[in-house]
A and B are shown apart, each in its own frame.
Chain A
Amino acid sequence: MKRLSKLVREQSKNPNAIAYAAMAVAGLTFPGIAQFATGGNADYLVSLAADAGVFVLLAIGLNVVVGFAGLLDLGYAAFFAIGSYTYGMLASQQLISSPLHTALHVPFWIALVLGMFIAAGAGALLGAPTLRLRGDYLAIVTLGFGEIVPRFFRNMREWTSGVNGISALDVPTLPFWITGPWANTELAIEQNFRFVTFNATAWYVLIVILIVASVIGVNNLHGSRLGRAWMAVREDETAAAAMGVNTVNTKLLAFAIGASFSGFAGAFYGAKLSLVSPESFGFVVSITILSMVVLGGMGNIPGAMVGALLLYAVLYKFLPDAPLQAASLAHSLGLDWLNTVVPDGWPGLGEFVSRLKFIIFGLILVTIMLVRPQGLLPSRLRAQELKRGVHDEPVTTVP
């Protein structure tokens, strides 16, 4: 107990520890609180939170590539697509209509791991010829890769049904599962449990477990020999090589490991939606994930997670709700004239706000970056430096 209180006292000023603690508490209590607050109608919210979790996983993975190793990857959604399609093809009736003529039904848990390895392999495959490039040039190649992969899946009609995508994916199963008040039911042990789409809580629990495992793994990597090699390559590739770091292998590993997270995020995403379509993995997705990482605090794991949660909430909850909220706010303030539609003129407040959605989104991004250019939760060392000031800047003017 004493040790615990000491730990709390020590960590109470560490923003990372606070962020982890807050996310852990929120993550554990969210379904229960949401169900209670909405009187048992929170399935939609919990499902949305599970989808947000997918982006948290993606941000954690991209943070390895961009934040740790300093490789600007503009095509990260490609690996997400590869993970999703891996599950889509291996766990549905899809391959019956393919030249293979047999449907594969690989269990979800195995497909999850497979998706991870296949995405990692794709990361290494992309990395091998391109990682000799530096900076902007690498960004351009990854951008191209991000465009090619979804197109590839769309054009491989025989295997992937093209634009229609793959639907009716297998439902993951478990021998048993515990349900309770947090999922709006009695406390009970359910045998032969199936992750059906409308069981939001089950998906939510699954993604939280995946995130926790990922955070532990990435955190270990960050403090390891490999993590230091990543940072060294980011800071100065030539010096890193001179110190005996095999820079090509190090960068390849960053790409592969970063990609592996989007691999299993993709498998989860496909299974939950029970649909995989080439339209879900466009350039916008890559950029959104990158924004999450940058906005949250590049190179810092909880930073990337906070960034992902915040941006996801803005994009998929706040912005879609904004028109209705604005209209009802105007109504309750007695400003109903704002909601009246004038033909060929004022479209009504709701519609007006709806048209401004992406301007609002842009304003939010710009404001955050202006107020906190280092990200919402920058890496610990950098924050310390900012606090301590720059009184000990190096003397750079040397004859």
Chain B
Amino acid sequence: MNTSPQPILSLQGVIKRFGGLTAVDQVSFDVPKGEVFSLIGPNGAGKTTLFNCITGMHVPTAGKVVFEGRDIAGTKPYRTAQLGIARTFQNIRLFEYMSAVDNVKVGEHVRMKAKLWDAMFRTPFARREEKRVTERAMEFLRFVGIERHADKYARNLAYGQQRRLEIARALATEPHLLLLDEPAAGFTPQEKVELMALVNQIISRGITVFLIEHDMKVVMEVSQRIVVLDHGEKIAEGVPTEVRNNPRVIEAYLGKSA
């Protein structure tokens, strides 16, 4: 196996049940540091549920979620963000009635130190921090290529720009691990190419990317390792070529051959 000795994230027998429905069943895998790791699977396979278990939006019924050496299963979402896990959402969840730059600044919230006192009296410290945060927010917008729209309401951005803004907002939390939930959904082929370039740029910043994606072309091209989920169970894991030729994966996606 080519996994590095210290994976950034390690799932160990994660189970998530909703009443009688088992959405994620005994899933274990390691996400190596500094790579693009992808999670694929048919609709309803439990991919987003797994993301929610990692970020603390769901508490796993059983199992361990080990992030940088500590079990974070059941940690509150804002804590996991503080620890260094950021995410985007499958159906974009921006702060619609806030400007693009303010959206990114909310991402920086978790790394800011101004206290209530500073905020209320606008102390020199708060002013300096605010200035620095604004500059950084603009950098992030430039990084994803939408700095021209900094002052627009998030809801008035075009669809592709909204997806980019979500990535910028997540990056602003200065994560070690970035979870992208179907970032290419609804993209044109051209936009997908741009997205892949963006993912590679994120990797070169030293951030590990964990991707859920439906578009096989994107997944195969961009990721170093892939895990396949079907009906909540892990059915395959490996490098793209292995996964592509795995009969169970083909079956899950195309149905059983007669």
A245/B119 contact (C-beta < 8 A), A235-B96, A382-B97 known: no
| Closest CB in chain A relative to B255 CB, distance in Å | 21
Which 6 pairs from chain A and chain B are nearest by CB? A244-B110, A244-B81, A224-B119, A235-B95, A398-B186, A239-B93
Whether B87 pairs with A228 at a CB distance below 8 angstroms is no
| Closest CB in chain A relative to B37 CB, distance in Å | 19
Cα–Cα, bound, A77→B225 (Å): 59
Whether A385 pairs with B158 at a CB distance below 8 angstroms is no
**B66: Cβ under 8 A from any A Cβ:** no
Cβ contacts A232-267/B at 8 Å (1 or 0 each)? 100110111111111100000100000000000000
| Closest CB in chain A relative to B58 CB, distance in Å | 12
Cβ 8 A contact of A226, one of B95, B99, B119: B119
Cβ 8 A contact of B112, one of A225, A241, A253: A225
User: Count the A-B residue pairs with Cβ separation under 8 angstroms: how many?
Assistant: 124
Cβ 8 A contact of A228, one of B89, B105, B153, B185: B105
A392/B158 contact (C-beta < 8 A), A239-B93, A243-B81 known: yes
Whether A220 pairs with B81 at a CB distance below 8 angstroms is no
Nearest A residue to B122 via CB reads: A220
**B109: Cβ under 8 A from any A Cβ:** yes
**A334: Cβ under 8 A from any B Cβ:** no
**B230: Cβ under 8 A from any A Cβ:** no
Nearest A residue to B126 via CB reads: A224
**B155: Cβ under 8 A from any A Cβ:** yes
Given contacts A225-B114, A236-B93, A239-B95, list 10 more A-B pairs with CB under 8 A. Answer: A220-B121, A221-B120, A224-B114, A225-B129, A226-B114, A229-B109, A241-B81, A247-B78, A385-B156, A393-B156
A392/B122 contact (C-beta < 8 A), A228-B102, A235-B97, A244-B110 known: no
Cβ contacts B85-97/A at 8 Å (1 or 0 each)? 0110100011111
Whether A394 pairs with B162 at a CB distance below 8 angstroms is yes
Whether B153 pairs with A381 at a CB distance below 8 angstroms is yes
Interface size class of B (residues with CB under 8 A): 35 or more
**A150: Cβ under 8 A from any B Cβ:** no
**B130: Cβ under 8 A from any A Cβ:** yes
A229/B97 contact (C-beta < 8 A), A220-B122, A243-B173 known: no
List of B residues within 8 angstroms of A394 by Cβ: 155-159, 162
15 of the cross-chain contacts (CB-CB < 8 Å) are: A225-B109, A225-B126, A226-B114, A228-B105, A231-B95, A235-B97, A235-B98, A241-B78, A241-B81, A242-B57, A243-B170, A382-B97, A394-B155, A395-B159, A399-B186
A226/B116 contact (C-beta < 8 A), A244-B82, A394-B159, A394-B162 known: yes
Cβ 8 A contact of A231, one of B93, B98, B119, B169: B98
Whether A392 pairs with B87 at a CB distance below 8 angstroms is no
List of B residues within 8 angstroms of A323 by Cβ: none
**A217: Cβ under 8 A from any B Cβ:** yes
**B7: Cβ under 8 A from any A Cβ:** no
Cβ 8 A contact of A242, one of B55, B99, B157: B55
| Closest CB in chain A relative to B97 CB, distance in Å | 6
**A123: Cβ under 8 A from any B Cβ:** no
Whether B97 pairs with A381 at a CB distance below 8 angstroms is yes
| Closest CB in chain B relative to A204 CB, distance in Å | 25
List of A residues within 8 angstroms of B162 by Cβ: 394
**B142: Cβ under 8 A from any A Cβ:** no
List of B residues within 8 angstroms of A241 by Cβ: 57, 76-78, 81
Which of B87, B102, B185, B186 has its CB near the most chain A CB atoms (within 10 A)?
A: B102
Taking CB atoms and an 8 Å cut-off, the chain A residues in 364-399 that contact chain B are 381-382, 385, 390, 392-396, 398-399
